[in-house]
């Protein structure tokens, strides 16, 4: 049992974790780092999304964007977006900084560090944050997790395998639950303490079985993975997805949420579909959505009785349609 307890010791949920985190605070104090950051504050910490994310290029071999765009939403929150010329999935990945730990959610769709140096990018972010805040990067524990078990969200995980002071999530449902210390998925809501900054995590199956939703109590960003995002939400299992939506609605009823953010953008600012696999999305919609968008989608979801693709005005709800089905037609058809 002992390794099990240690494995999830970072969760403030358990008594053991409370003791351990107390210890690490003590240790940190000995090494005389910068002052501890107060993440507890009234209201959401202010932050801003970029006017425009990198969004591919007409000719991929001529793409000169960085392998990942690193956007600092605020001083303690970075959001990474993979370049479409490195992977058409181009997922978004938040990087949350606490006093003791850093949480990376999602690792993109390229496996080899040689091809796409995610680890280097994350290390740079941690280093610059530590420089700004007077910390030693080696003291910051990195948690490498992913929103759900799909390859476009975990492919880069192995790059962190030999990184010191790092925990990374395994690729099974059991390991995912064990990583968060969940015993009653999906209803149970656990609290991850990054050191003064708490992230609430609970299950949101539907797109896949093994998926979680994440709420950052500092920025009030609700990160919904692939279960709800600005694009084609491929709903593999309707009832679990509907129940997960209900859980999200219940959550936003009781918690302040600044933005709802998914993993991808597959839609233009005018609501046009960018077909599956596209690598040039010049007029992309922003990645973040409002709570009203979530509520509106749920109202529409209540009326959905059978499989098909339904457009809410912000997202496509693809109820049990096959993985890459789009609403695309052959543009050259004629009578």
Partner 1 sequence: MPTSNAPSLIPYNPNLNGNPASATGSAYPNGNPALGYNRPGVRNTDSAVPLHGEGPVVHDYASDGPAPGNIAMRWIYGSNVAAKNRDPRIQVMQYNEDSFILRQNVCSHWEAPFTYLLFGNDRALLIDTGAHASAHYYPLRETVDAIMTRWGQARRRPNLPLTVVMTSGEDIAQNQGLVQFAGRLGTTLQPKPIELMKRFHRLSAWPEGTGTIDLGGRTITVIPTPGTHKDGISLFDPYTGFLFTGDFFYPGKIQIANDRDYIASLERLIRFRDGHAVKWVMGGHIEMMFVPGKAYPRFATYKPYERLLQMDPALLDEGLTYAREVAGKSLMLIRPNFIFLNDVSPDQRTTVWPEGVPNIDPPRPF
Mark the segment that binds partner 1 (CB under 8 A) among 31-39, 62-70, 175-183, 203-211: 62-70
Sign for the CA dihedral angle at 25, 28, 30, 36 comes to: negative
> Which strands make up the sheet holding 212-216, listed edge to edge?
190-193, 198-203, 212-216, 221-225, 259-262, 288-289
> Using the rule CB under 8 A, is 154 a contact of partner 1?
no
> Using the rule CB under 8 A, is 171 a contact of partner 1?
no
Residues 24-53 as x/- pattern, contact with partner 1 by CB under 8 A: ------------------------------
d(CA 327, CA 324): 10
By CB under 8 A, name the one of 1, 15, 48, 61 that touches partner 1. 61
Cβ distance to partner 1 smaller for residue 239 or 325: 325
> Using the rule CB under 8 A, is 275 a contact of partner 1?
yes
By CB under 8 A, name the one of 41, 270, 305, 333 that touches partner 1. 333
Mark the segment that binds partner 1 (CB under 8 A) among 81-89, 160-168, 221-229, 283-291: 81-89
> Using the rule CB under 8 A, is 328 a contact of partner 1?
yes
d(CA 193, CA 103): 10
> Using the rule CB under 8 A, is 67 a contact of partner 1?
yes
> Using the rule CB under 8 A, is 158 a contact of partner 1?
no
Q: How far is the CB of 216 from partner 1 (least distance, A)?
A: 31
Cβ distance to partner 1 smaller for residue 86 or 160: 86
CA distance readout (Å), 61 to 55, 109, 219: 14, 18, 37
> Using the rule CB under 8 A, is 58 a contact of partner 1?
yes
Mark the segment that binds partner 1 (CB under 8 A) among 42-50, 71-79, 205-213, 325-333: 325-333
d(CA 90, CA 153): 10
Cβ distance to partner 1 smaller for residue 125 or 155: 155
Cβ distance to partner 1 smaller for residue 49 or 276: 276
d(CA 68, CA 66): 5
Cβ distance to partner 1 smaller for residue 31 or 330: 330
> Using the rule CB under 8 A, is 272 a contact of partner 1?
no
Give the bridge partners for 311, in sequence order. 316
Residues 92-131 as x/- pattern, contact with partner 1 by CB under 8 A: ------------------xx---xx---------------
Q: Is 133 exposed, middle or buried (0-12, 13-18, 19+ CB in 10 A)?
A: middle
> Using the rule CB under 8 A, is 334 a contact of partner 1?
yes
The count of chain residues that interact with partner 1, using the rule CB under 8 A, is 34
> Using the rule CB under 8 A, is 320 a contact of partner 1?
no
By CB under 8 A, name the one of 79, 85, 103, 122 that touches partner 1. 85
d(CA 279, CA 89): 8
> φ and ψ at 327, to 5 degrees?
-90, 10
> Using the rule CB under 8 A, is 69 a contact of partner 1?
no
> Using the rule CB under 8 A, is 59 a contact of partner 1?
yes
Provide the binding-site residues for partner 1, judged by CB under 8 A.
58-63, 65, 67, 83, 85-88, 110-111, 115-116, 275-279, 322, 324-330, 332-335
């Amino acid at each position: 049992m002992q390794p099990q307890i240690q494995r999830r010791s970072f969760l403030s949920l358990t008594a053991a974790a409370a003791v351990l985190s107390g210890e690490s605070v003590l240790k940190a104090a000995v090494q005389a780092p910068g002052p501890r950051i107060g993440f507890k504050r009234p209201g959401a910490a202010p932050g801003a999304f970029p006017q425009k994310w990198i969004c591919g290029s007409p000719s991929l071999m001529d793409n000169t964007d960085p392998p990942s765009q690193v956007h600092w939403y605020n001083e303690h929150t970075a959001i990474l977006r993979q370049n479409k010329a490195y992977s058409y999935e181009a997922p978004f990945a938040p990087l949350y900084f606490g006093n003791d730990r850093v949480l990376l959610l999602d690792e993109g769709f390229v496996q080899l560090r040689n091809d796409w140096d995610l680890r280097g990018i994350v290390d740079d972010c941690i280093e610059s944050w530590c420089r700004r805040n007077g910390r030693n990067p080696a003291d910051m524990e990195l948690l490498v997790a992913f929103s759900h078990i799909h390859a476009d969200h975990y492919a880069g995980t192995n790059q962190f395998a030999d990184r010191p002071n790092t925990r990374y999530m395994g690729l099974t449902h059991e390991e995912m639950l064990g990583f968060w210390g969940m015993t009653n998925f999906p209803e149970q809501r656990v609290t991850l303490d990054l050191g003064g900054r708490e992230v609430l995590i609970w299950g949101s199956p539907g797109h896949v079985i093994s998926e979680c939703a994440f709420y950052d109590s500092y920025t009030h960003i609700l990160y919904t993975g692939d279960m709800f995002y600005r694009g084609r939400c491929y709903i593999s299992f309707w009832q679990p997805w509907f129940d997960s939506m209900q859980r999200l609605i219940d959550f936003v009823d009781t918690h302040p949420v600044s933005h709802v953010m998914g993993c991808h953008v597959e839609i233009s600012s005018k609501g046009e579909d960018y077909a599956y696999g596209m690598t040039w999305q010049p007029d992309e919609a922003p990645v973040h959505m409002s709570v009203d968008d979530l509520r509106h989608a749920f109202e529409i979801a209540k009326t959905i009785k059978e499989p098909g693709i339904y457009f809410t005005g912000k997202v496509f709800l693809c109820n049990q349609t096959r993985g890459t089905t789009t609403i695309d037609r052959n543009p050259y058809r004629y009578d």
